[in-house]
Structure 1
């Protein structure tokens, strides 16, 4: 027995682990000294580079596919208001009498109200019955201060009303109100000529157009009937 193994045997060592199985101390004694190194040896180096764990790319691919599908999905828009400048200073000045109408409208409104005869009321040909209807509706709806911008769809020129869709929307773009209240389908045909007249609401890209009875129809109603006719506006929140 090699002398360098004797202290292990005298300490009670009987077996040692060997890749081939347990062997007796006598077999250990017969094993060459270099077969049992006393100092730990570093693990053998592999000539192969470690392969990093691969993260599944399925969620990322699915996300890319979802984004691609979402980008190709069209956004439903019933109509679009005419494009143009977003402020009076960014485009041509309003012609008369539209420039005079504009001076009557202060900023900060939440809705635009319009009807075919509004050009008459703003042009000096006021009708007390229409004025009474408007006052009754605003009082009934309990609107906040300065809620409504009155902006016509037709201007009084040479004694007659001349509709102008582009000038209506150019004025609306100055305030960008989320709601336009259109009294009468004749006024609706001016601002949205392709709209379905049977519908009472039209959603555009930036504004909701509400269609109510015409001012002539409201004038013929009793005050409480006028209030019932505009009940859809009572649920609007600003």
Structure 2
């Protein structure tokens, strides 16, 4: 660029920049791009592209075929010049795994706490929605069943207490009946047929004799989800492993509610009886 003649070989599109003092032009990605290279970009493009020439006649009538122009020869080389990294990645990429469909009967969502607490209740109701048509029990338990089955058909609760063997055996006490009407019918408003009063004892030689096996055989007839027990003494008969002091127990998928014994309730006032049996209000009748 020091000689004035060097300006003669400058592309016209760069001449205004050279006159303004530009000496170098940085063109990344373009080999030999500059101002004083001795040939312009248009000249290089013209040199790279050469149109095909017509074939010349050879002696003897043959035609001499010239090789194609340079751009056609460069096309395969450009395809070969592609980096092989992308092709390798495409070949080595594993196929996407198919989504496994849920198997038949498989659960997708876990049950909530409320649904889990209702599972034993719903299972008991579904297992024995109706009592069996024929029940075989020894006496006097068979007689007890004949009396109870005439009053209820599909109870929701089985109620029991120590003196129930007396009441079903012909030695009933009207005070106990009054307590049950005041608490279950008037206060809790249980509809008729809600509870089946099944004993855990029977009169043998003039005295009550507890029988745990016969109580659970009677419960198997209806398989109610709830059992209401009046008194801890009656609870120890049907559930000997129960720890005293609690009012609710879970035994064999059955919820057992414990309230004071009837021998104590008959000595209370009506509002005291209702307060003492308030725990039975947690039983779901509907």
Give the secondary-structure state (helix, strand or coil) at the position aligned to 2:220. helix
Between the aligned partners of 1:24 and 1:155, the Cα distance in structure 2 is: 117
| Structure 1 residue 147 displacement after superposition | 1.2
Between the aligned partners of 1:155 and 1:34, the Cα distance in structure 2 is: 117
- Which residue number corresponds to residue 68 of structure 2? 33
Between the aligned partners of 1:216 and 1:112, the Cα distance in structure 2 is: 19
For the 8 Å contact 2:48–2:71, the answer to whether it is kept is no
For the 8 Å contact 2:48–2:70, the answer to whether it is kept is no
The alpha-carbon distance between structure 1 residues 183 and 34, as it changes in their structure 2 partners (threshold 3 A), is farther
The alpha-carbon distance between structure 1 residues 26 and 206, as it changes in their structure 2 partners (threshold 3 A), is same
Of residues 177, 189, 195, the one that matches 1:148 is 195
Of residues 154, 161, 165, the one that matches 1:119 is 165
| Structure 1 residue 162 displacement after superposition | 1.7
Which stretches in structure 1 are left out of the alignment for 5+ residues?
Answer: 1-18, 58-84
5 Å matches for 1:1-238?
24-29=45-50, 33=68, 36-37=71-72, 49=91, 51-54=93-96, 93-105=136-148, 106-138=152-184, 139-238=186-285
Larger radius of gyration: 2
Between the aligned partners of 1:98 and 1:37, the Cα distance in structure 2 is: 107
Moved more, 206-215 or 138-147: 138-147
Give the secondary-structure state (helix, strand or coil) at the position aligned to 2:50. helix
Q: What is the RMSD of the two structures over their aligned residues, measured on CA atoms?
A: 3.6
Query: TM-score, normalization: structure 1?
Result: 0.67
- What CA deviation, in whole Å up to 9, does each residue of 1:107-147 have, x standing for no partner? 22111110001011001111111111112112221112211
Which stretches in structure 2 are left out of the alignment for 5+ residues?
Answer: 1-28, 32-40, 53-66, 81-86, 100-126
Q: How many residues get paired? A: 191
Query: TM-score, normalization: structure 2?
Result: 0.57
- Which residue number corresponds to residue 76 of structure 1? none
For the 8 Å contact 2:232–2:261, the answer to whether it is kept is yes
Between the aligned partners of 1:136 and 1:218, the Cα distance in structure 2 is: 11
The alpha-carbon distance between structure 1 residues 205 and 120, as it changes in their structure 2 partners (threshold 3 A), is same
| Structure 1 residue 189 displacement after superposition | 0.4
- What CA deviation, in whole Å up to 9, does each residue of 1:88-119 have, x standing for no partner? 579x8211111111112222211111000101
| Structure 1 residue 229 displacement after superposition | 0.7
The alpha-carbon distance between structure 1 residues 89 and 107, as it changes in their structure 2 partners (threshold 3 A), is closer
